[in-house]
Chain A
Amino acid sequence: EAGVAQSPRYKIIEKRQSVAFWCNPISGHATLYWYQQILGQGPKLLIQFQNNGVVDDSQLPKDRFSAERLKGVDSTLKIQPAKLEDSAVYLCASSRDQGNTEAFFGQGTRLTVV
Chain B
Amino acid sequence: LAKTTQPISMDSYEGQEVNITCSHNNIATNDYITWYQQFPSQGPRFIIQGYKTKVTNEVASLFIPADRKSSTLSLPRVSLSDTAVYYCLVGRYNQGGKLIFGQGTELSVKP
Contact = CB atoms under 8 A, between A and B. Distances in A.
B45 A105 contact: yes
B83 to A, nearest CB: 16
Contact of A91 (B43, B49, B96, B104): B43
Interface of A is mostly: loop
Contacts of B45: 105
A45 B100 CA distance: 7
Interface residues of B, number: 25
Nearest to A91: B43
Interface stretch (B12-20, B59-67, B87-95): B87-95
A106 interface: yes
A43 B44 contact: yes
A18 B101 CA distance: 27
Contact of B43 (A48, A93, A98, A99): A93
24 contacts: A42-B102, A42-B103, A43-B44, A44-B101, A45-B98, A45-B101, A55-B98, A56-B96, A91-B43, A93-B99, A98-B95, A98-B97, A99-B94, A100-B93, A101-B34, A101-B91, A101-B93, A101-B97, A101-B99, A102-B49, A106-B43, A107-B43, A108-B42, A108-B43
A103 interface: yes
Contacts of B93: 98-101
The bracket for how many chain A residues form the interface is 20 to 34
B38 to A, nearest CB: 8
A97 to B, nearest CB: 9
Contacts of B98: 45, 48, 55-56
A93 B93 CA distance: 15
B41 interface: yes
Most buried by A among B94, B97, B98, B99: B99
Nearest to A35: B101
A99 B42 CA distance: 24
A55 B93 CA distance: 13
A35 B103 CA distance: 14
Contacts of B34: 101
